[in-house]
Copies of this chain bind each other. A is one copy, B any other.
Amino acid sequence: MNIDKVNISEKFGRFSDHWHPRIVGELNGQQVKLAKLKGEFIWHSHEQEDEMFLIIKGTLKMELRDKVVEIKEGEFIVIPRGVEHRPIAEEEVQVMLFEPASTLHTGNVTSELTRNKQEWL
């Protein structure tokens, strides 16, 4: 078993497309993913999975049905299962995600943004 560290900044340097999470770690059936976000995502929810967004760079606006939460570098938010949300990145945001290995990022909605492949970086 090869156990080694992961450098987040180095991983972010390997891709540039938006709304396309890459897997960088796995533990206890959960995956750690990195994504670059820019623009508005779609309204969606995850029926069975809570989802955590940890902001590495930039500012993410998380729209919920009753408020908007602005999440900056060094901050995180957990969106509980079943809660509708829509991430908005006015400028590019680098985010680390924690979610079950089964999670699709578009949740209950299938759109042209939906990616089914599990891509390790």
> Taking beta carbons and an 8 Å cutoff, which residues of A are in contact with B?
1, 3-9, 25-28, 30, 32, 49-52, 56, 64, 69-71, 74-80, 83, 98-100
Q: Which residues of B contact A98 (CB under 8 A)?
A: 27, 30, 32, 98
How far is the CB of A33 from the nearest CB of chain B, in Å? 13
- The chain B residue with its CB closest to the CB of A100 is B28
Interface of A is mostly: strand
Instruction: Assess the A75–B6 pair: CB atoms within 8 A.
Output: yes
Number of this chain's copies in the complex: 2
Q: Is the CB of A49 within 8 A of B76?
A: no
30 contacts between A and B (CB under 8 A): A1-B80, A1-B83, A3-B64, A3-B69, A3-B77, A3-B80, A3-B83, A4-B77, A5-B69, A5-B70, A5-B71, A5-B75, A5-B76, A5-B77, A6-B75, A6-B76, A7-B74, A7-B75, A8-B75, A8-B76, A9-B74, A26-B78, A27-B51, A27-B78, A27-B98, A28-B49, A28-B99, A32-B78, A32-B98, A98-B98
